[in-house]
Structure 1
């Protein structure tokens, strides 16, 4: 099987400069490079660059997948809107790690599947997931908790380690978060038991009066700096940063994590067992329903044949005379129906006598006799 690797980088906050695009083009002659993206896939080669370095220098989002089962996604946010210390509380293993530069914090998530992927096309995944970056910038911590769960799923943490604060809204993930869960192949049972202590997500749309009161309390120099940043128009996260500061006074914080890694894994295992048992019960019930329906249809068919046995035998004779394989098959099927009817009505001996006569009459038709034998009409 040939190799397949897909790389996609996106610049969200600031477009790539012409000089940056030339730098990237020097590393790849066939990549699709625009002022906001770099996309390339490889059948036999590899990226001539370090995604970690590219995230620090150029891009705000990165997605990678390979046909041997590796999925990876990284997101970069300014430290003003996402504290590296908060991220470090959740990204604690190989499956979810983070690092910070002077200006940004990068969240890097990995998923491995030794069975590999059946579909290799990487297009579309990042577009579906990218809005989680804005959610994270606005103070939504669900992505970070999912990152921590990814480490739990990978058995990268001690079983007695306590979970971090559980953010609200885990039971009702947004579309982009659901796309992230699917891409990272997060265990649905683990996610379900983790979400049990997650409170409903409260609407955080502040009133005009509350915003006005908060804004009036800001020092004048700080207000002036905010206006200058707004007028410059190069700070895409100014609103998120200010709202995060505002909500810091009225937080929608997660609940304290009281469960251990071992608790979550055990509960997820029990939930999986329950799902498997219920699935088996549903399959058994459906199988029984189909069997009852088939038996009822069979009985109805035999009832329709009752009283028409002689006519059916004449039809068998006519089909055999054609000497066509399909007609032989139809004749054997009709004889099988006659056998079932005879067994049901206690006329088995008369039926067997009729079959013996039929076999003697057509003893020189081995194809027909073979069909009768395989149908148990010896």
Structure 2
């Protein structure tokens, strides 16, 4: 398989100037560059620019996918939309990083899985993920917690220090983990969040408060009344200047700050969450095995009821004298053996098998297959 790297950058809060587009063109002659995006695929070589630098100076979102298992999402938000101290408890090793510039907060979320299946083009789009940026800007921290779960699973595989597990705390658990939005489900898939780990975390997550994405006048009037005159003057001035496309999002965040999704304290250590996930995983596997056993029992019961028809099919397969038909006959005999055993009629099966072997003792290919499969 040849090397494959996919880079996508999006500018959401403002278009790129012609000069900025020219600067980006100097990094790649093949990339598709518009006033709001930079997209390129590499089958050899690499992007000449540093993605962190590009997001800091040009873009609000970046997606990176490779055929050796790297999934990376970077987001840039205005500093007033999301505070670094709020993010820091969710940062873990190299999988989740956050830092600030003079004007923005940046997130870097990474998942690595060298052994995972990869289909070219399957993950090559920011469209399904970009909604988590607005969710974070309005106080919904579920995307951060999902990234932390992804990092925790990877950290568990990489780290051999049990003492660190005992002391590493779970960050605050946001509300609504049991009812993720579409962008959050896409993020969980992209970062390969373990389903049992998410289910264990959701047990401690309160229900998300119900609120409209587009607030009503009735909802906003009392909230605006709580703002001071100075805050209102500042907001009106910034609105009049017209240089901040994200101002509405910031304002809604400030107005709804007191009703943002609740968070409950995390468990005393990540090990407690991993243990809870292990318990759920074990119970799920046992339930699945039980269901399979019941389905197998129903199948064997039905087969033994139709035993005469099955023996006729076996005879018909053998009569063709074809090797593939012999294989089909032997496979069906194996199923019949299990069906008779399930019904407590082993002796009856052995008698009929003995007669069949005697009838076809001059078919060495068939006899060899019967012996090889323990049908003696």
Query: Match of 1:265?
Result: 274
Are residue 256 (structure 1) and residue 265 (structure 2) matched? yes
- Whole-Å Cα distance in 2 between the matches of residues 196 and 261 of structure 1? 15
Query: Match of 2:239?
Result: 230
Query: Match of 1:106?
Result: 106
1:116–1:219 Cα change, 3 Å: same
Q: Is the 8 A contact 1:230 1:238 kept in 2?
A: yes
Unaligned 5+ residue runs, structure 2?
Answer: 338-346
1:290–1:83 Cα change, 3 Å: same
Q: What pairs with 1:325-364 in structure 2 (closer than 5 Å)?
A: 355=359
Q: Is the 8 A contact 1:96 1:147 kept in 2?
A: yes
Q: Is the 8 A contact 1:137 1:237 kept in 2?
A: no
1:168–1:350 Cα change, 3 Å: closer
Are residue 244 (structure 1) and residue 258 (structure 2) matched? no
1:224–1:370 Cα change, 3 Å: same
- Whole-Å Cα distance in 1 between the matches of residues 74 and 306 of structure 2? 58
| RMSD across aligned positions (CA) | 3.6
- Whole-Å Cα distance in 1 between the matches of residues 353 and 251 of structure 2? 93
* SS of structure 1 residue aligned to 2:24: helix
Deviation readout 1:304-344 (Å, 9 max, x if unpaired): 89xxxxxx9xx99xx98xxx8559969x96xx99xx9xx95
- Whole-Å Cα distance in 2 between the matches of residues 354 and 163 of structure 1? 69
1:372–1:326 Cα change, 3 Å: closer
- Whole-Å Cα distance in 2 between the matches of residues 23 and 349 of structure 1? 80
- TM-score, structure 1 as length reference: 0.80
Query: Match of 1:164?
Result: 171
Are residue 88 (structure 1) and residue 81 (structure 2) matched? no
1:187 to 165, 190, 194: 194
Q: What pairs with 1:263-342 in structure 2 (closer than 5 Å)?
A: 263-300=272-309
TM-aligned CA deviation for residue 203 of structure 1: 1.6
Are residue 199 (structure 1) and residue 221 (structure 2) matched? no
- Whole-Å Cα distance in 1 between the matches of residues 324 and 273 of structure 2? 62
- TM-score, structure 2 as length reference: 0.80
Aligned residues: 347
Unaligned 5+ residue runs, structure 1?
Answer: 306-311, 360-368
